[in-house]
Structure 1
Amino acid sequence: MATAHDLAHLDSTIRSLSGGVQDARQGATRSINSWIEALDGGSYGPLTRDLEHLKAALEDESPDTAKLSQTLRQLGEHTTKAADKAEGATVEKLQELGQLLTTAAGQLK
């Protein structure tokens, strides 16, 4: 079951992505590191790998847009799938986050 901290973390990430990819990029590394730490050791291997790839792409001064788009799309898909295993309010938040990540991927094409 998700804690209040987990739900706040989801809300923060959703707010960041709601403004689009360019707005989210500024604070993305800190948020990505926080998510990697939160998911470490769980059954979220695909999400953690996607986050590591996203972090590396965003740290590049001239990221490969196609690669970044693909990473965001995969992260969106894996986040949406994670909602299937979640409970309570977390389900809706993960679904929303998955959709925002997928939308962000489409903005980069």
Structure 2
Amino acid sequence: MKTQILRFSPLQSAKVMAVLSFMMLIPPLALFALAALLVRRDAGVVIMVVLLPFLYLVLGFVLTLIGAWVYNLVAARIGGFEFGAVDTGRHDIDVH
């Protein structure tokens, strides 16, 4: 069965992507910060470690919001992403 995604909710998509981006940035940034602090003790490193995740969160939100809006415009004219799907008959999957 072929299915198309005709529309994304721009605001919900942006919120989800911003949080995911923020969460994925924390571990490598913590390792980088630790390494940087061991090499040289500088207030700039601490400022970067605090500000960079929030900048990444804001940029991820804004760019995903714009991307979902543009996708909706394009999908309305030429169709959305198409993918194959099959009903497995399992409706007992807990997503939490």
Structure-2-length-normalised TM-score: 0.31
Q: Which has the larger radius of gyration?
A: 2
Structure-1-length-normalised TM-score: 0.28
The answer to which structure has the higher helix fraction is 1
Answer 1 or 2: higher relative contact order, Cα 8 Å, separation at least 6. Answer: 2
